[in-house]
Chains A and B, each alone.
Chain A
Amino acid sequence: MNTFEYAPAPESRAIVDIKPSYGLFVGGEFVDGHGRSFKTISPSTEEVLSEVAEADETDVDLAVKAARRAHSRVWGRMPGKERAKYLFRIARIIQERGRELAVLESIDNGKPIKETRDVDVPIAAAHFFYYAGWADKLKYSGHGTESLGVAGQVIPWNFPLLMLSWKIAPALACGNTVVLKPAETTPLTALLFAEICQQADLPPGVVNIITGAGDTGRTLVSHPDVDKVAFTGSTEVGRAIAKSVAGSDKRVTLELGGKAANIVFDDAPLDQAVEGIVNGIFFNQGHVCCAGSRLLVQESVADEVLGRLKRRMGTLRVGDPLDKNTDVGAINSAEQLAKIRRLSQIGEQEGAERWSAPCDLPDHGFWFPPTVFTGVTQAHRIAREEIFGPVLSVLTFRTPGEAVEKANNTPYGLSAGVWTEKGSRILKVANALRAGVVWANTFNKFDPTSPFGGYKESGYGREGGRHGLEAYLR
């Protein structure tokens, strides 16, 4: 009798209007590309959603030219207070069309509507609000007042709209124009954003959206008339970009991979720590560069924390991204799923113990159950490589020194978590961690006022806050 089955609670798709095909958004208009096109699918159903143009060299060049023109003729000269109003307009439209964006993001990306509705879209709008206010106050920023020119921006598929806002909002506020390439598996919200730019009467060429895959991105960042490159994605691609811009005058910011340690001390608020662990690695299917993918738990509470964690994982609801009760959605692509499976197999082969929450996975689409590996050591590949999926590696430690040493023992340095009720320990450990963001007694929190970015091979530059202006000013 006491089985409380939640009936399906699907968000309606009716609000979104996905066109059968999309061109490129260049100079304020949608234009046909000169290259091929590719399909974007829904990762939860494998249904083809639309056909999207793949920008070739000519297209990239046209987009950069449009951006250059807009910069030199309009946007670069426009008083900050006027630029600000466009950004405020965009922010408002994102809020007004929030449900549409959330549903579309959920369909194209596979992430739960709960997250697009409560995280991606509101924070995207907040970024535009935040940077809108900076546009006419740059002289107080400490980073100069002059725009750089044209920004070539390449963003990943894990937070398509949110990453777009992290890139476009500060660039525009500082007077730059942009050519942005969304990821090939998640172009749709960026294309909807292009419509929003039209709706806001943003001058043509200030924002250009070109779709495509790796080749398009490479062409964009190496285009000689691009003044600034901003990239979020893998360390491998980031490294290639760093090489390709060598010797140029291009300014670069890179926000790359991570293998964050989430350190739980024995005096932690355990129930909240378990929530933090879950949020750290299962939020957005673990497709998060700053995911807390390495749990470092103090040996004395390891069994208890794992017990609580597994119990909690048992309540995660995996399935239809559009169901309002879904906690974990679909893996973004077949390719990513294969990578997660491969690394998980390696984890087993290397002797770690694998446990997945019991859950029924849909027949179609790309799915991976929330999974935890115990008995992991620093030497295991699953403790060193970024899996970028819902897979947690658990390691133990005995002393604070050991925890810090293990946490820092990685080429990455994007984020870290610390859980303890002892204030002085938080400060000591937070100080010692070589990571750009440290969440103490919380995890995976984001805010437009808060700088985000990594140490070491997690990249350079900061996005968000006053610090985020530096990348777009001289």
Chain B
Amino acid sequence: MTSTATPTAGPHDDPVEPGWADVTASESSLRRFLHGLPGVDQVGAEQRAAGLGTRSIKTTAKAFAIDLAIRMVDLTTLEGQDTRGKVKALSAKAMRPDPADPTCPPVAAVCVYPDMVAVAKEALGASEVHVASVATAFPSGRAAMDVKLADTRDAVAAGADEVDMVIDRGAFLAGHYLQVFEEIGAVREACAGEGGAAHLKVILETGELQTYDNVRRASWLAMMAGADFIKTSTGKVQPAATPPVTLVMLEAVRDYREQTGRMVGVKPAGGIRTSKDAIKYLVMVNEVAGPDWLEPDWFRFGASTLLNDLLMQRTRLATGRYSGPDYFTLD
């Protein structure tokens, strides 16, 4: 960015990004900065995303992509009807997605409501699978600040490794960027726990932001406020993750690293159901942000049904036969 300040890169686990003090000094300076980011042409962005979607990923490339996608799944259940049993089953599946095949890698994390964090934590034990918890009055984010912070602290206290917060879209759309910035910072502080800070994923709820310009601005706002990840959606609002939205976010993290040296992860969530879709996203990660992001530390899929399709495709590649849903567990 030519028109923007260049902050010095801060240590990864600093509570807020230190270099943005000038930019975040006032509502107006923050607005000037965010509105000074290059615009996004909707048609051009959508055509680029569609173009990347025509890549043909076959054989060895497909096998690589499917295993990578499995390792990137945040296996998610965020329903009012969630039970301890369901979360336990989900956790088991997260660790051993395909019990018949020990070469199948585990997923990245299990993503639940705060009250289920302890259950998941216990079920996952010492495995490498993380527990992610939504927080901050998910999914609407419509609660008082102290409630949001308490929600976050509860999740962290129960053992969440990762917190998926929602931003206040109302404030963002009203142009109260500083308020959103400060909220993210406060939640980030609330993520501090005994065993180190939980990683913070900031959900932009892009379906409510309406424009790609807003997606880009919200991405930068979240990164400047210290987000470890930027995430598209709660999954409760349509449209959820889309390729062009994710493209814009991948461009944002790419540019942010170029400017600050700090890498931020990206998590599309909601609506990604097939291996084919997942592979398109991986192509996009590869060609837009770059191969450095092709790790579960830097890219995740927020999904529930995606995993089964990945497993079916994985089996087909291994056996040459098409599998069916009866051969994989429902949860």
A–B touch (CB < 8 A): the answer is yes
Q: How far is the CA of A269 from the CA of B44 in the complex (A)?
A: 9
Residues 11-40 of B at the A interface (beta carbon under 8 Å): 38-40
Interface contact A441-B58, CB-CB below 8 Å: no
Q: How far is the CA of A6 from the CA of B57 in the complex (A)?
A: 6
Interface contact A441-B44, CB-CB below 8 Å: yes
Q: What 1/0 flags go to A260-281 for Cβ under 8 Å of B?
A: 0000001111111001100000
Chain A residues, CB < 8 A from B286: 4
Interface contact B61-A5, CB-CB below 8 Å: yes
Q: Is A304 an interface residue (CB 8 A)?
A: yes
Give the most central of A1, A3, A7, A114: most B CB within 10 Å: A7
Q: How far is the CA of A268 from the CA of B59 in the complex (A)?
A: 40
Considering the complex, give the chain B residue whose CB is closest to the CB of A324. B56
Q: Is B282 an interface residue (CB 8 A)?
A: yes
Q: Is A442 an interface residue (CB 8 A)?
A: yes
Interface contact B57-A9, CB-CB below 8 Å: yes
Interface bracket on B = 20 to 34
Interface contact B2-A4, CB-CB below 8 Å: no
Chain A residues, CB < 8 A from B65: 4
Interface contact A269-B48, CB-CB below 8 Å: no
Interface contact A301-B2, CB-CB below 8 Å: yes
Chain A residues, CB < 8 A from B307: none
Q: Is A325 an interface residue (CB 8 A)?
A: yes
Within 8 Å by CB of A268, from B38, B45, B60, B251, lies B38
Q: A2-B295, A114-B54, A269-B38 are contacts. A275–B48 as well, Cβ < 8 Å?
A: yes
Closest beta carbon of chain A to B58's beta carbon, Å: 5
Chain A residues, CB < 8 A from B2: 266, 300-301, 304
Interface contact A4-B55, CB-CB below 8 Å: no
Q: Is B156 an interface residue (CB 8 A)?
A: no
Interface contact A276-B44, CB-CB below 8 Å: yes
Considering the complex, give the chain A residue whose CB is closest to the CB of B216. A271
Q: Is B174 an interface residue (CB 8 A)?
A: no
Interface contact B43-A324, CB-CB below 8 Å: no
Considering the complex, give the chain B residue whose CB is closest to the CB of A276. B44
Q: How far is the CA of A92 from the CA of B75 in the complex (A)?
A: 46
Closest beta carbon of chain B to A269's beta carbon, Å: 4
Interface contact A269-B43, CB-CB below 8 Å: no
Q: Is A421 an interface residue (CB 8 A)?
A: yes
Interface contact B294-A2, CB-CB below 8 Å: yes
Q: Is B125 an interface residue (CB 8 A)?
A: no
Interface contact B61-A269, CB-CB below 8 Å: no
Within 8 Å by CB of A4, from B39, B45, B61, lies B61
Interface contact B291-A315, CB-CB below 8 Å: no
Give chain A's interface secondary structure class: loop
Interface contact A7-B291, CB-CB below 8 Å: no
Q: Is B41 an interface residue (CB 8 A)?
A: yes
Q: Is A118 an interface residue (CB 8 A)?
A: yes
Considering the complex, give the chain B residue whose CB is closest to the CB of A323. B56
Interface contact A271-B251, CB-CB below 8 Å: yes
Chain B residues, CB < 8 A from A9: 56-58
Considering the complex, give the chain B residue whose CB is closest to the CB of A304. B2
Closest beta carbon of chain A to B211's beta carbon, Å: 12
Q: How far is the CA of A272 from the CA of B291 in the complex (A)?
A: 21
Interface contact B295-A271, CB-CB below 8 Å: no
Considering the complex, give the chain A residue whose CB is closest to the CB of B282. A4
Chain B residues, CB < 8 A from A114: 54
Interface contact B39-A267, CB-CB below 8 Å: yes
Q: How far is the CA of A114 from the CA of B56 in the complex (A)?
A: 10
Interface contact A6-B55, CB-CB below 8 Å: yes
Interface contact B60-A5, CB-CB below 8 Å: yes
Interface contact A272-B44, CB-CB below 8 Å: yes
Residues 1-36 of A at the B interface (beta carbon under 8 Å): 1-9
Residues 241-298 of A at the B interface (beta carbon under 8 Å): 266-272, 275-276
Q: What 1/0 flags go to B269-284 for Cβ under 8 Å of A?
A: 0000000000000110
Q: How far is the CA of A6 from the CA of B58 in the complex (A)?
A: 7
Interface contact A2-B291, CB-CB below 8 Å: yes
Q: How far is the CA of A270 from the CA of B4 in the complex (A)?
A: 15
Considering the complex, give the chain A residue whose CB is closest to the CB of B45. A272
Interface contact A275-B44, CB-CB below 8 Å: yes
Chain B residues, CB < 8 A from A6: 55-57, 61
Q: How far is the CA of A36 from the CA of B225 in the complex (A)?
A: 74
Chain A residues, CB < 8 A from B60: 5, 7
Q: A300-B2, A324-B54, A324-B56 are contacts. A4–B291 as well, Cβ < 8 Å?
A: yes
Q: List 21 A-B contacts (CB under 8 A).
A: A1-B295, A3-B291, A4-B65, A4-B283, A4-B291, A5-B60, A7-B62, A9-B56, A9-B58, A269-B38, A269-B39, A269-B40, A270-B38, A271-B40, A271-B48, A272-B44, A304-B1, A304-B2, A324-B54, A324-B56, A441-B41
Closest 8 CB pairs of A and B: A272-B44, A9-B56, A2-B294, A324-B56, A270-B38, A272-B41, A7-B61, A269-B41
Known: A268-B38, A271-B40, A275-B48. 15 other contacts (CB 8 A): A2-B68, A3-B291, A4-B286, A4-B294, A6-B57, A6-B61, A114-B54, A272-B40, A272-B45, A275-B44, A304-B1, A324-B54, A324-B56, A421-B39, A442-B41
Q: Show the binding face of B for A, using Cβ within 8 Å.
A: 1-2, 38-41, 43-45, 47-48, 54-62, 64-65, 68, 251, 282-283, 286-287, 291-292, 294-295
